[in-house]
A and B are shown apart, each in its own frame.
Chain A
Amino acid sequence: METYKLVVNGHPMEVATDPGTPLLWVLREELKMTGTKYGCGIAACGACTVHLAGVPTRSCVVPISLVGRRPVVTIEAMTGDPVGRVVQDAWVSHDVVQCGYCQSGQIMSAVALLKAIPKPTDADIEQSMGGNLCRCATYVRIREAIQIASGQLK
C-alpha cells in the first residue's frame, strides 16, 4: 500500500492503494467516480477514456504509480467544461446513446478531438474515435453529433 496524491477534475485527492492498481479502478472504487467504465482492461475498447494532462488516455492500463503530477479529468467534469457541455448537449439533442455504457469514453474522446481540432474532417473523426468501441454501433450518430458540436463551438 502506498499513498498517492492526485488532482482529479481540479480537486486534490489522496488515495492509499497498491502501486499497480490501474487509475480506472482508483477512480471507480476509491474515489467512487463510476462514470469512467470498465470494458476490457487492455486498452482495446476506450470505455475507460480520461484526459491525463489533456491527453485522452485509457485509464485501465495506467497504474496509479505512473500518474504522477498529471491532472486527471473525467466524464464527471464535462458538464462544467465549455467544450464538454457542448458535446454532451449535442449527444442528447441528437439522441446518440443506446445502452450508453461506452458513451463516457466516446464523449471524452470527442472532447479531446474538438479541443485539438475544432473543425474536424470525417477522417479526423475516424482517427480520433477509432479506438472507442460501441457494441450498439451508434457510430453514425456519434459522427453527426461531433459535427453538430463542432458547429456550435465558437
Chain B
Amino acid sequence: MRRNLQDGADPGWNRRAFLKVSAAATGGLLVSLYLDRLALAQEAASAAAPKVYPPDAFVHIRPDGTTVIQVNRLEFGQGIHTALPMILADEMDADWSHVVAELAPADAVYADPVFGIQMVGQSSSITDSFTQYRELGARTRAMLVAAAAARWKIPEGDCRTESGVVHGPNGRSATYAELAEAAALIPVPEKIRLKSPSAFRLVGTKTRRLDSRPKCDGSLKFGLDLDVPGMKIAVVAHPPVFGARVKGFDAAAARAIEAVRDVFEIPLARGTGVAVVADRFWPAKQGRDRLRIEWDLAGTERPDSGRLFAAYRDLARTTGNIAVARGEANAMHAIPESRRIVAEYEFPFLAHTPMEPLNTTIRLDGDRAEVWAGSQFQTSDQLAIAEVLGLKPAQVAFHTEMAGGGFGRRAVPDSHIQREAAAIAKRLRGVPVKLIWTREDDVQGGYYRPMHVHRVEVGVGSDGLPTAWRHVIVGQSLVAGTPFAPMLIKNGVDSTAVEGAADTHYAIPNFHLSAHHPASSVPVLWFRSVGHTHNTFVMETLVDELAMRAAIDPIAYRLKLLKPDAKRVRSTLTLLQEKAGWRRSVPREHAVGIACVQCFGTAVACAAEVSVEEKRPRIHRVTVALNCGLAVNPLTIESQFQGGVGFGVTQLMSKGAITLKDGRVEQRNFDGYCPPYMKDAPAAVDVHIVPSDDKPTGCGEPPVPVIAPAVVNALFRLTGKRYRTLPLAAL
C-alpha cells in the first residue's frame, strides 16, 4: 500500500512550503531549530533506509521559549494532539508548560511511519509514532546539549537537561531558547539513546489535553468555522439514489435569491449533482431547496434494505470465500443435535454522523491551491484535489484543521468530499469556497458501516466448550475497488469484514469461517472499530450463551476458553474480576453482562450493569479493564474508554439504523437516525488499566465493540431473550 499510494505524490517534502504554512498558521516568525542542510541529508538517504526524521519539521523553539511541536496526524477527539507532544517533550526534557501543539499540513515527512501515507486509522497513531516521536525528542535534546557543550567548551557528558534548560558544571545553565539558533547548526545525530521508561516524566502521567480551553470558550476554529477573505459557501444537491445523474434542472428560483452567485452541475464520485454557490450558507441552502432537478435513474441499482437482507440471509446458508479452515471440516457431524446452536444475526447500515458536518475550503489561485480540511487521509485527499484541479500535489498546500469527530468518516479512499469541493473551486477560480454538507447530506449521503448477516453453527462438547464452529459472514467489502484492496483482500476475503472473528482469541479446535461480499451501489466505509462492530457482537453473545448453557460464570468460562497466548485479553478479564465492585450491590431488577475483545492490539474486558426502563436498556454502570501496553496518557485513555463505550451504544439505539427503500435512504437527520444522548449512554464508566511497559497500542477504537454485546448479555439475564438483530427493538 505504501508504494501504491505514494506513487505520484511529491517525493520530497517541500521545506519552503512547510515554513510558509507554519508561519501563516502561527502568525509569528519561527526560529527554526535546524536549517536547510537537513533537507539535503534527507534526500541523500535512500528510500529503503530507516528514516531519520528531521527535527526541524517537528520542533520549533521560539525566542520566548515556546516549543511548538507538529502533530503528524488529525486531531478529532482522540487526544493525539496532546499525546504525541508528550512523548517528544519527555525525551527532549522540554518544559511542558511551554509546549504548544500544531496539526501538521500535508507533507511526505508527516507520513505515518508504518503506512507510508499521512493518516489516522486502525487506532495506530501511538503504535506507529511512539518511537518516531521519542527519537525526535532525543535528537533535539542531543543537538541542544551539543550546542551548550560547544559554547562552554566542555564535554557533552558534563551537561544535563531538565525542563527546557541545559545545566553544565559550576552552576552554568542556558535555556533551550538561548541555544536554539546554535543547535540548528549541529548535524542531526544518527545514534541517540532513549530514556528508560522509568525516567519518563510526562509519559505515563495523567496529562490534561492541550486543546480544552479553546474548545470550551468557543474560540477554536474547526474547519466549518474558517473564514477566508472573499469566501463563498457552496452546498450541493446530491442524487436521491446513489449513482443517479442530473438530466436537467431549473435554477431560476434559486438564482432569484440575491446572495446566490452561481448554480451549476458538477461531477460526483457517484453520479452528478448541482452546486449552489452563495455569499452565505443560508441563501445557498435556500437556493438548493428551490432547485427543480430532473434525475436520470437509468442504470442505478435502487438498493432496498429488506431485499438486501433477504438476499444476504440466503447467501449466509452457503459457504463463502474461505477465511479460516482449522481442524476437521465435518467435526459438526459428530455432535448430537441437542448440543448444537444455530444463530443468525442481522446488522443494519450505520452512519458515523460526526458532530461537525463534513466540509472543505479550497482557494484556487492560478497554478496554486490552498486547502483547509479536517482529514484523516491528508496524502490521498491532497492528491485527489490536485488531480481535479490539474495541479501537482506540491502545488496544493493542505492545512489540517481540527475536526469535530470523524470515527472513520474523514478517512475516505475516494476523497469524494475533496473532489466535490475541488470541482466547485475549479469553476470559481480565484474565489475561495467552502463546501458544506448539511446534516441531511451526511445522513443520506452513504459511506455507511455496511449491513451484515452472520450465520453461525456451534457444536458444544460434553465439557460445555465449543468443539466445532461454522461461521458465514455476508456483507459488502470496505476496500474492494480502493488502493487498499491488494493489501486487505486475500482469497476473496476482506480482512476488515472478518477481523474479531477470524482471529478469535478463543481456542476452538474445529473452526471454519467464510465470507461473501456482495457488491452494491451503497457507498460503505470503515466505522470506528470496523469489523469488530459486528464480529465482536456475534462472538461475545455466542460465547456468553455457551457459558450460560454450561452453567459456568461468564468470566471464568472465557478464561477457560482463551488461547494460551491470548495474554492481553487474559490480563483484562483477570483485572475485571479483581475489580469486583461491579458485582456488589447489584439491585434485583438489574443484571450484569460481560464481553471482551482484542481490537487493534488493545485488549478490553467489560462488565455492564443494566436494567430495563420504558422498554429500553438503561446502562447504570460500566466497568472496563484494558491492556494497551504502556499507557502514554492515562487521562486520555480513561476518557476514550468512557466515550468509546458510549459511542458503541449507537447500534443499540431504537433509531440506530440507516435503511433504504427502493434506493432512497429513509432517514434524513437526527430525528430519524438517532445516536445516543446522555440518558442512553452509561451513567458511569470506571476504567482500570493493566500496568504494562509493553509497546503501546491504540485506544480510539478498542472501547467501542464491547458495550453492545455486554448490554444484551445482561438483558438476557433480565428477559430470557437473546438479541441477534440490531438495532434493538422495544424490549
Which residues of chain A have a CB within 8 Å of any CB of chain B? 1, 17-18, 20-22, 25, 28-30, 32-42, 44-45, 47, 74-76, 78-79, 88, 91-93, 95-104, 107, 122, 125-126, 129-143
Contacts and interface: CB of A to CB of B under 8 A. Distances in A.
B217 A79 contact: yes
B356 A137 contact: no
B639 A98 contact: yes
Given A34-B225, A39-B355, A137-B676, A95 B639 contact: yes
B439 interface: yes
Nearest to A34: B225
Contact of B639 (A17, A130, A141): A141
A140 B703 CA distance: 15
Contacts of A45: 355, 670
B639 A44 contact: no
A28 to B, nearest CB: 8
Contacts of B353: 135
Given A45-B355, A137-B646, A100 B669 contact: no
Contacts of B355: 37, 39, 45, 47, 99, 101-102, 133-136
A29 B647 CA distance: 31
Given A34-B225, A103-B216, A41 B683 contact: no
Q: In terms of DSSP, what is the predominant structure of the interface of chain B? A: loop
Q: Choose among B77, B208, B679 the residue with the greatest number of A CB atoms under 10 Å from its CB.
A: B77
Contact of B407 (A18, A22, A79, A135): A135
B551 interface: no
Interface string B647-687: 10100000000000000000001110001111101111100
Contact of B670 (A1, A30, A42, A76): A42
A39 B439 contact: yes
20 contacts: A18-B282, A20-B282, A21-B282, A25-B282, A34-B224, A37-B355, A76-B217, A92-B216, A95-B635, A97-B212, A99-B404, A102-B355, A126-B679, A130-B678, A134-B355, A135-B647, A137-B642, A138-B643, A140-B682, A142-B678
Nearest to B686: A140
A101 B639 CA distance: 16
A76 to B, nearest CB: 5
A131 B675 CA distance: 11
Nearest to B407: A135
B211 to A, nearest CB: 7
Contacts of B79: 98
Nearest to B218: A35
Contact of B405 (A30, A74, A101): A101
Contacts of A141: 639, 642
A140 B620 CA distance: 11
Contacts of A35: 217-219
A124 B53 CA distance: 52
B646 A140 contact: yes
B217 A133 contact: no
Contact of B671 (A32, A37, A39, A42): A42
Contact of B216 (A44, A91, A136, A137): A91
A78 B217 contact: yes
Contact of A93 (B208, B280, B640): B208
B450 to A, nearest CB: 20
Given A40-B439, A137-B643, A138-B643, A97 B218 contact: no
B78 interface: yes
Contact of B678 (A18, A22, A97, A139): A139
Range class of the B interface residue count: 35 or more
A25 B683 contact: no
A44 B670 contact: yes
Interface string B53-86: 0000000000000000000000011110000000
B354 interface: yes
Contacts, number: 189
A46 B683 CA distance: 20
A36 B76 CA distance: 18
Contacts of B227: 32, 34
Contacts of B549: none
Nearest to B404: A101
A142 B685 CA distance: 12
Given A17-B282, A21-B282, 8 more contacts: A22-B282, A33-B218, A42-B670, A92-B208, A96-B212, A101-B404, A102-B355, A133-B670
A75 to B, nearest CB: 4
A98 B67 CA distance: 23
A122 to B, nearest CB: 7
Nearest to A75: B218
A76 B355 CA distance: 20
Interface in B200-241: 208-209, 211-213, 215-222, 224-225, 227
Interface string B370-411: 000000000000000000000000000000001111110000
A139 B77 contact: no
Q: When A and B form their complex, which 7 residue pairs have the shortest distance between CB atoms, in order from nearest?
A: A35-B218, A137-B646, A101-B404, A100-B215, A99-B77, A98-B77, A75-B218
A89 to B, nearest CB: 9
B678 to A, nearest CB: 5
A3 to B, nearest CB: 15
A132 B610 CA distance: 23
A19 B377 CA distance: 40
B412 to A, nearest CB: 18
Given A25-B281, A39-B439, A130-B677, A138 B642 contact: yes
Contacts of A21: 282
Interface string B348-379: 00000111110000000000000000000000
Contacts of A34: 218, 221, 224-225, 227
Nearest to B257: A18
A95 B82 CA distance: 12
